[in-house]
Amino acid sequence: MRTARRFLAAAILAATAITANATPAAAANPTHMPVPAKGRGCDYQTTLQTTLRALHEDPADWSVVDMADDPTIAGVTRYPENTVRMNAALPCDLIADVARHEHIHRVQWAVFGRSDAKTPLEDAFGGDEEVERVADCGAIQLGAEYTYYLGSDPTLCTSRENHAARLLNDWWTAHQAGA
Ligand SMILES: [Zn+2]
């Protein structure tokens, strides 16, 4: 596991070499996704638990909470504990996609995390924006259609971002297989 993890880290570092215009973001911890426009209703817990099973996630690391104090946040992955909080007010048809994005953050942390919160992720991916874009690209690879950070960017994921996201998803798959 340790050897595989180092290998992956090296591969992702190579895949996400810092771009010329990468802007070092202020330490933004925890990460979050703003709440998008309202969608249709559904059963929140059923939708979330179905999604978590498909992702081979541990539901114990996920909670659904009232975020009335900051209602613009859709989901939060907290470091270093690497747990996710989903906004209970999230439109139901976006629960799965937000969960996919936060799941990638958990994998990012599983590979690169240290005790100093988000800094190692920014170092690994080339800034906070790249941490978020790779999370969106990984979520797309898992079937997501809603991606906040890619927004209306016509190029969507770059080949480098897709490569980093694929390595993360492959690592998680191998991790689940006990590799
Ligand atoms: Zn995020």
Task: Please give the chain's pLDDT, 179 residues, in tens.
Answer: 444 454 455 444 444 433 333 333 333 456 667 665 555 568 899 999 999 999 999 999 999 999 888 878 999 999 889 999 999 988 888 999 999 999 999 999 999 887 766 677 788 888 888 999 999 999 999 999 989 899 767 779 999 999 999 999 999 999 886 54
Ligand 1 centroid to Cα of residue 97, in Å, is 11
Ligand 1 centroid to Cα of residue 163, in Å, is 18
Ligand 1 centroid to Cα of residue 157, in Å, is 15
Ligand 1 centroid to Cα of residue 10, in Å, is 22
Long-range CB contacts for residues 21-26, cutoff 8 Å, separation at least 24: 22/126, 22/127, 22/129, 22/130, 23/127, 23/129, 24/122, 24/127, 24/128, 25/122, 25/127, 25/128, 25/129
* Number of separate domains in the chain: 1
Q: What domain range is 169 assigned to? A: 2-176
